Structure 1
Amino acid sequence: MEIKMNAMKLFVLPVLATALVMTGCASRKPAAPVSAANTPSTATTVSTEGLSEDAALNAKNLTGASAKGVTAANRAFLAKRVVHFDYDSSDLSTEDYQTLQAHAQFLIANANSRVALTGHTDERGTREYNMALGERRAKAVQSYLITNGVNPQQLEAVSYGKEMPINPGHNEAAWKENRRVEINYEAVPPLLK
């Protein structure tokens, strides 16, 4: 009887783990856009280059932006909302530290700000592997922000794996663009004017 239970555990646990990864975080829906009637008259300029279509729309439609924690020195870094990764890696690059530090400072100064960190991969590899890699990437950014003082309640790490490429190409240039974490403000984004 005990042998049967152990054999069943060996079968059921991997199946459950695979099912969790398969359904994973990709079922998260982006926040609904805000109507033009609710948009503040203060214009913000956020770089949406490198963001998926939904994330770019959300970045443009957020209300309640804050200038608190935005300085002349970190304005350009706050406008950057994408962190890129090397192939098959979830290690942060030194080029991204200033961007992440600027976002950490803003989030610390604005306790009502909320951010979704969406991890993405290129098309190579299985769906399951890429979902896990996208999650590791999002969690690497989340960990960096928390280590630098951001309240974990302000952050949500999500993986879309290879499901939402921003460049549909099948070459190294496209793959490089698709290996990313997007920093999507869902409440109280930086006011960049």
Structure 2
Amino acid sequence: MKTVKFLALPLLATALVMTGCASRKPANTTDATQFPSGAGTVNTQGLSEDSALNAQNLAGASSKGVTAENKAFLAKRVVHFDYDSSELTNQDYQTLQAHAQFLMANANSRVALTGHTDERGTREYNMALGERRAKAVESFLVTTGVSPTQLEAVSYGKEMPVNAGHDENAWKENRRVEINYEAVPPLLK
């Protein structure tokens, strides 16, 4: 009887950890064509439905920290990664720097950084990789001066692909971190 208890505890602990890794509500995926053309200037391609709606929601948005130079970078809400990597690429630094500038100028802004992977690898490995990717973006923003209280890093692993294909192009799109403004998004008009 003691053997059963000792075997059940690690299984229960593992199950609790795995369910806690993706504690946020999963979203349905969509593309930008589902939104009216006058809904805003944010590029929602490659975002989940909730993220796209969030990006389009300009109610309560702020123009503080939005400059002509960083407007295009603020419109980008997805950072992509190489295969099996959580290293930021040089092309993502300007995007992340623009979001950091905006977040520092708007202390009431809140961002969820959702890490995603392609379909290759085990669920457990991909949950950890998605978390490393989200934490890499979070670390860059905090190092730049953003308050950690404005950020939340979450991993969905391979559970929420934006492209359901099974080739390199699909996998490339799915290896990402989405920058989802949950409060006071940038006003980009």
Q: Is the 8 A contact 1:24 1:159 kept in 2?
A: no
Code of the residue aligned with 2:84 in structure 1: it is D
1:66-111 per-position Cα deviation (integer Å, ceiling 9, x unaligned): 0000000000000000000011111101110000000000000000
Residue in 2 that maps onto 1:37: none
Q: Is the 8 A contact 2:58 2:187 kept in 1?
A: no
Hey, what's the Cα distance between the residues in 1 that align with 2:82 and 2:13?
26
Cα RMSD of the aligned pairs, angstroms, is 2.2
Residue in 1 that maps onto 2:181: 185
Cα distance change on mapping 1:132 and 1:12 into 2, 3 Å: farther
Residue in 2 that maps onto 1:122: 118
Hey, what's the Cα distance between the residues in 1 that align with 2:154 and 2:16?
13
Q: Is the 8 A contact 1:117 1:155 kept in 2?
A: yes
Hey, what's the Cα distance between the residues in 1 that align with 2:106 and 2:127?
30
Hey, what's the Cα distance between the residues in 2 that align with 1:163 and 1:30?
9
Matched residue of 1:46: which SS?
Answer: coil
**What's the TM-score once normalised by structure 2's chain length?**
0.86
Q: Which runs of 5+ in 2 are unaligned?
A: 28-37
Count of aligned positions: 176
Residues 1:145 and 2:141 aligned together = yes
- Higher gyration radius (CA): 1
Residue in 2 that maps onto 1:56: 52
Residue in 2 that maps onto 1:106: 102
Instruction: Give how far 1:59 is off.
Output: 1.5
Code of the residue aligned with 1:182 in structure 2: it is E
Hey, what's the Cα distance between the residues in 1 that align with 2:41 and 2:150?
23
Q: Which runs of 5+ in 1 are unaligned?
A: 32-41
Residue in 2 that maps onto 1:47: 43
Instruction: Give how far 1:14 is off.
Output: 5.4
Identity %: 83
Q: Is the 8 A contact 1:62 1:187 kept in 2?
A: no
Q: Is the 8 A contact 1:21 1:128 kept in 2?
A: no
Residue in 2 that maps onto 1:19: 15
1:163-190 per-position Cα deviation (integer Å, ceiling 9, x unaligned): 1000000000000000000000000011
Code of the residue aligned with 2:149 in structure 1: it is Q
Cα distance change on mapping 1:66 and 1:125 into 2, 3 Å: same
Q: Is the 8 A contact 1:22 1:127 kept in 2?
A: no
Code of the residue aligned with 2:63 in structure 1: it is A
1:93-135 per-position Cα deviation (integer Å, ceiling 9, x unaligned): 1110000000000000000000000000000111111111101
Code of the residue aligned with 1:157 in structure 2: it is A
Q: 1:159 aligns with which of 150, 155, 160?
A: 155
Q: Is the 8 A contact 1:18 1:128 kept in 2?
A: no
Code of the residue aligned with 2:75 in structure 1: it is A
Residue in 1 that maps onto 2:63: 67
Instruction: Give how far 1:26 is off.
Output: 1.9
Q: Is the 8 A contact 1:115 1:187 kept in 2?
A: yes
Hey, what's the Cα distance between the residues in 1 that align with 2:69 and 2:164?
34
